A and B are shown apart, each in its own frame.
Chain A
C-alpha cells in the first residue's frame, strides 16, 4: 500500500460553469445580430449621435435575446433572458451622466487653470476678463476657513451624539438617533435661512463668514454622528468589559480605551462630514455670500468660497466667466473627491461598511 502515490497526481481546478466555448459562440452570434439590428434602427429612426447608437444597441440586444429564448426554447422565458440585459443596461445608462459630468468638468476646467489661478484673487479683475488674470485663491482659502470652523463646531458634537447612542446608551438613545436622522433631512437652504434669521438679523446685523460656518455645521453634524455611531458599534463589548473589570470608570473607559481604538474611524467620519458640506452653495448664498478679495475677517465681512464663486461666475454668464466657473468646479470636485477617497482609505473596514 502506497498512500502517497494516489495523492501526487496533479489536479487542476476548473470552472465548468464559466464561459465555455459554446456560450462564447452564442454571445458572438447574438452580438452580431444585435449590431445589425442596431444599425438598422439607427439608420431608419430619428436616433442620432453617440446616445442614439447606445439606445439602438440596447434595444437590439433585448430584442435579440427575446427572440433567442423563443426560437431555441432553452427553458428560459423571455423575462429570464431580457432581465440581465435590462439590469446591466440600467447600470451602464446611469454611468453616462457621471462620465459626461467628470469629463466635461475636466475638459472645460483645465482651460482656465494656470499657476496664478491658485495665487490671485479677483480684487482687480472682473469675472469677464481673459483667463490669464485673476484667480480663486480667495475662494480656496475662504472654503478652508468656513469649512474648518464648521468642522471644529460640528465634529465634536456629532461624535458626542454618537457616544451617547452607543456608549451611554441611555433612555434617550433612540430619541437622539431620531433627532440626528431628522436633522440630516434639513434642506441646506433652510439651514442658511435659519442662521440668517437668528445670527445675522439678531446679532451681527450683516452677512459674515462665521454665520456660513454655523450653517454648514448644522448640515455636517448628522453625517459625523451617523458615521461615528457605526464606527463605535464595531468596538467589541469585550474591550469595554476588560476595562471595567480593571476597575476603570466609564469616563476612563470611554476616553482611554474606546476612543483611541476607533480614532481612525472618527477621523473618517469627520472627513466624510467635510466632504458633505464643502460643496454646499445655498446656505452660503444666504450667509457668507461672496467677496472679491482674500480676507480672514470672520465676523465683519462676507467671504468667498468655491461654491459661491462657481455660482457667481455662472450667473455672470459671459464666455470667460463660464470658463472660470468650470475651472473652479474642477478644483472643487478635486477637493471633494480627494477627501472622500482619503476617508475611504483611512476608514477602510472600520466604518462598518461592507
Chain B
C-alpha cells in the first residue's frame, strides 16, 4: 500500500499521466544546401561498396565458366594444365595445391611473426628506455612501408642462402618428423623460406595492433601488481598479456590476411609446383596470388578465366579473414 503510493506519487501530484504530455521529438532542420551536401558525401562514401561489389561481380562473371566446367573439382584438384596446342589434352584447372600452399606459407609466417610481434610491442611499450621509444616506433613505421618487391629481392639474394643452411640443420635433426622431411635434398625456394620472409613483412602490422592494445592495459592494475611486489614480468603476465589477448588474436588475423594476399615476394622465393605439399622445407609450394602473377602473362583466354576464378577465391578468403580480424580488433579496443 505504502509502496504503491510512493511510486505513484509524482505522477499523481504533477498529473503527468492525466494530461498526457507527449515528448516532442527534436529534429534538426536542414536547408537544401545541407541536404545536397550530405547526399553527395554519402554517395562518395558508398563508392567503396560499389568497388567491392564490382570486384566480386566481375570476377564471378569472368570466372563463371570455370566454376560451371569444373564444379567443385576446381577446389579439390591440384592439376593446373592449359589445353595442349594440338588439342590432344583438354585444359584442367584446380586450385587445391595453391589454396593449401597459401595457408601453409601464411601459417608459417604467422607462427614466426606473432611471438616476435609480442616481444617487440612489449619492448616498445614497457621495456625500452623511455627516450628511445619514439625513435624505435618511427623506425618500425618506416619498415612497414618497404615495398614487397624489395623484400622479395632481398629475400632471394640474402635471406635464401642463410635460410637454406637453417633448413638443412632443421632437416638433419628433425627430419624424422614428416613436416621437416624432404623428398629430394633441395632446400631453395621452399614454403619455409617464403613463410620466413612473409613473417618479416607482416611483423609491422601485427606489432602495431599488439602495441595499441598493450598500451591500453589499465595503468591502475599494473600499479596494483607492482604494489604487491611483482616483478615487471609478473605485471606483464598478470595484467598486460591477458588484457591484450583478443587484440593480439585480431592482429594475428590481420597479418594472416596480408600474408594470404602477398604476391611478388612469394613469387620470387617460392617454387611454384602444382602439388599439395606439407613438407615445408621442400622446394615445392605456391599460393593463389603468385599463381595469378606467374600464369597471367602467357595465359590463353580460357586460362585467364580460371585465373579470374582463382582471384575470386582469394578475394573471398582474405575478405573473410579480414572481417574476423577487424571485428575482434574493434571489439578489443577500449572506447576512448
Are B38 and A170 neighbours in the complex by a CB distance under 8 Å? Answer: yes
Task: Please classify how large the interface on chain B is, using the bins under 10, 10 to 19, 20 to 34, 35 or more.
Answer: 35 or more
Interface locus among B116-124, B187-195, B219-227, B277-285: B116-124
In the assembled complex, B9 has its CB within 8 A of some CB on chain A: no
Residues of A within 8 A of B325 (CB): 185
**Dominant secondary structure of chain B at its interface with chain A:** helix
Most chain A beta carbons < 10 A, residue from B48, B307, B314 = B48
Interface membership of chain A positions 77-89, coded 1 if the CB is closer than 8 angstroms to chain B and 0 otherwise: 1011001101111
Q: Which A32-74 residues have a C-beta within 8 angstroms of B?
A: 46, 51
Number of interface residues of A (CB under 8 A): 87
One of A88, A178, A187 near B260 (C-beta < 8 A): A187
In the assembled complex, B17 has its CB within 8 A of some CB on chain A: no
Q: How far is the CB of A77 from chain B (nearest CB, A)?
A: 8
Residues of A within 8 A of B203 (CB): 94
Q: Which A128-148 residues have a C-beta within 8 angstroms of B?
A: none
Residues of A within 8 A of B153 (CB): 310, 314, 325-326, 329
One of B47, B119, B236, B314 near A190 (C-beta < 8 A): B314
Pull 27 A–B residue pairs with CB atoms less than 8 Å apart, ordered by A: A83-B236, A88-B127, A94-B116, A94-B200, A104-B158, A163-B45, A164-B42, A179-B48, A181-B326, A182-B322, A186-B315, A189-B261, A190-B59, A190-B315, A194-B55, A198-B54, A249-B31, A251-B34, A279-B148, A280-B147, A281-B149, A285-B296, A310-B150, A314-B149, A336-B147, A337-B145, A341-B142
Residues of B bordering A, CB below 8 Å: 30-31, 33-34, 36-38, 41-42, 44-49, 51-52, 54-55, 58-59, 62, 115-116, 118-120, 122-124, 127-128, 136, 138-139, 141-143, 145-154, 156-159, 162, 169, 200, 203, 215, 231-234, 236, 254, 257, 260-264, 268, 289, 292-293, 296, 307-308, 311, 314-315, 318-319, 321-323, 325-326
Residues of A bordering B, CB below 8 Å: 46, 51, 76-77, 79-80, 83-84, 86-91, 93-94, 97-98, 100-101, 104-105, 156-157, 160-161, 163-165, 167-168, 170, 172, 176, 178-191, 193-194, 197-198, 201, 218, 221-222, 225, 249-251, 254, 275-276, 278-282, 285-286, 307, 310-311, 314, 322, 325-326, 329, 332-333, 336-337, 339-341, 344, 354
New A-B pairs, 13, CB < 8 Å, besides A183-B51, A187-B263, A189-B293: A101-B146, A161-B45, A178-B326, A179-B46, A185-B321, A190-B315, A193-B311, A194-B311, A250-B34, A250-B38, A286-B293, A311-B264, A326-B153
